Amino acid sequence: MDTSYLFYSGVFAIIFIFSVGVLSLAQTSQTRLPLPPGPKGSIISGVAGLMPKLEPWKTYASWSRHFGDPIISFRVYNRIIVVLNDVTSVRNLLEKRAHIYSDRPVSWMYNTICDRGKAIFNVSSLDERHKQYRKLLKTGLGVRATRDFWPLLQTEVETLVEGLTRSPEKHESHIRRNAAGVIMKVAFGYTVTEDDHFIKVAEEAAKVSGWATAPGRWLVDYIPTMRFIPSWVPGADWKRQGEAWRARLRHLSHVPHQWVKDQMASGTYIDSFTSRLLRPDGHQFVNAEQEDIIKWCAGGLYAGAGDTTVSALISFIHLMALHPEVQRKAQIEIDDIIGVDQLPDPPKLGKLPYLAAVLKEVLRFAPVGNIALPHRVIVDDEYAGYRIPKDATIIANVWAIMHDVSIYSEPFIFNPDRFFAPSGNDPQTDPRQFAFGFGHRSCPGIHFAETTMLLAMANVISQFDISLPSNTKVPPTIEYTSGITSHIKPFDIQITPRTNNKA
């Protein structure tokens, strides 16, 4: 933070203290119920200084234990944040009261200054557009649509296998290329190449979006009146930065959409999410408003799919190296059901229950989104004797639920067998209920994601053995990155062709 920023912080701290005072007075008179317990922090910034940079989900879980309650709350500047650390509160609030718990917290920097308030991840649930987006995504990514994409998923997975055969040590980049190749084809009918321009466009958009939405980075997110400061005012560098990002993001989102339109005009194009929706009856083009909706939806696909399936697949290959017995069992299932000389294809995925259990266990053991995405409650609410104030940010601690011993026995052990029912016990809860989010914001790509991941997993282990290097003395410790999408920190693994090693 530079000095001018600190100056603004000082000026607006005064406005802020005043508004916090007014807010708390209004709230006290509204109801006597307390907020859920939690750390208090300082009068101005709340717990901003205590916010963990690494693995915040673990800190939230430890605060929950400390305060003896699965629901905790704290304040960061003028925002109340409520964290739900157990399955009961998540179900009761985010699912059963989804009509009031499905909005997103406003990021003034991103939504307003960068003009990204219509993006699928950010659009308000109160905006009519949110319903329209969800409807399009449901149709465009549902069971039937995914089936139409089977041939292209098959082609892309063959490219993945080829890449791993050629340069197994570059496994991460082959997996990334596979995810990008799939989603670019599905969204725009575009075939990615090595060092691809479209991928660079999408990655730049993701990077800028990450900077503009970084929690705690932009004071304007906590003091929204700052957005009215003109960008020419000395020291308003953050505003100038936001405006530059606005222009860049607008350009970036235009690039692939315009490409599809040009291809359609030329008469030779590959059918895609965008092309189908632009000419729903095969002839007539949709109107400008509908076209804008399609553009925002397709733009959200890379953001939704790009890093998430990559995270799960990278976890998968590392966990297979650590658990050869699980890998072997999954390989035997594939060999028996699909055949030793056949490549697994999408229609056969449903016949592989053990592999499906391995995917569930990957999503549970190494959650892709440890705190999903934050929600916002749109009215004052009460729950379990607590006040949940309007506009509070609601975070579901998915990591805590996935490692809750009352739901998953031995939660820190990787064991796909937990999803079967040995000797009369019930199988343990399906973690997909938590891995893909909640209420009206739950992931619309779930079916599509599962198909692409199972296909990649089946093909990789049917063709390769994944192991730790033979000179490994001590098995590596598993660690994760701390972003919105969490990744296993890679350790050395070996990927070798399986041809002479099949059952």
Which spans in 128-280 are helix H?
A: 128-141, 143-148, 150-166, 171-188, 197-213, 237-266, 273-278
User: Residue 282, exposed/middle/buried by CB under 10 A (0-12, 13-18, 19+)?
Assistant: exposed
Backbone angles phi, psi at 71, to 5 degrees: -105, 125
Token duo for residue 82? 């409520």
Residue of the chain from 219, 330, 449, 461 that contacts ligand HEM (CB under 6 A): 449
Options 77-85, 107-115, 252-260, 429-437: segment touching ligand HEM (CB under 6 A): 429-437
Among 308, 315, 451, 486, binds ligand HEM (CB under 6 A): 308
Contact stretch for ligand HEM (CB under 6 A) within 242-250, 351-359, 366-374, 378-386: 366-374
Toward ligand HEM, which CB reaches closer, 369 or 389?
Answer: 369
Tell me: does residue 484 bind ligand HEM (CB under 6 A): no
Residue of the chain from 109, 175, 277, 305 that contacts ligand HEM (CB under 6 A): 305
Rounded to the nearest 10 degrees, the angle between the axes of helix 446-463 and helix 150-166 is: 40
* Interface region with ligand HEM, contact rule CB under 6 A, candidates 106-114, 209-217, 288-296, 368-376: 368-376
CB atoms within 10 A of CB 265: 8
**Any contact of residue 358 with ligand HEM (CB under 6 A)?**
no
- Can residue 435 be called a binding residue for ligand HEM (CB under 6 A)? yes
Do residues 89 and 82 lie in contact, with contact meaning Cβ atoms separated by under 8 Å?
Answer: no
Largest Cα span, the chain: 75
Which helix (H) or strand (E) covers residue 75, if one does? strand 71-76
Compute and round to an integer the Cα radius of gyration of the chain. Answer: 24
Q: How many C-beta atoms surround the C-beta of residue 42 within 10 A?
A: 11
Whether residue 114 is annotated as binding a ligand: the answer is no
| Residue 89 touching ligand HEM (CB under 6 A) | no
Cβ 494 to ligand HEM shortest distance, Å: 25
Which residue lies nearer to ligand HEM by CB, 403 or 441? Answer: 441
User: Candidates 9-17, 25-33, 43-51, 440-448 — which segment interacts with ligand HEM by CB under 6 A?
Assistant: 440-448
**Contact code string over 112-131 relative to ligand HEM, x by CB under 6 A:** --------xx----------
Q: Return d(Cα 58, Cα 439) in angstroms, integer.
A: 24
Cβ at position 250, least distance to ligand HEM in Å:
19
Task: Specify the 3-state DSSP secondary structure of 464.
Answer: strand
**Residues of this chain that bind ligand HEM (CB under 6 A):** 120-121, 137, 141, 300-301, 304-305, 308-309, 312, 368-369, 372-373, 435-438, 441-445, 448-449
Binding-site residue set for heme? 443
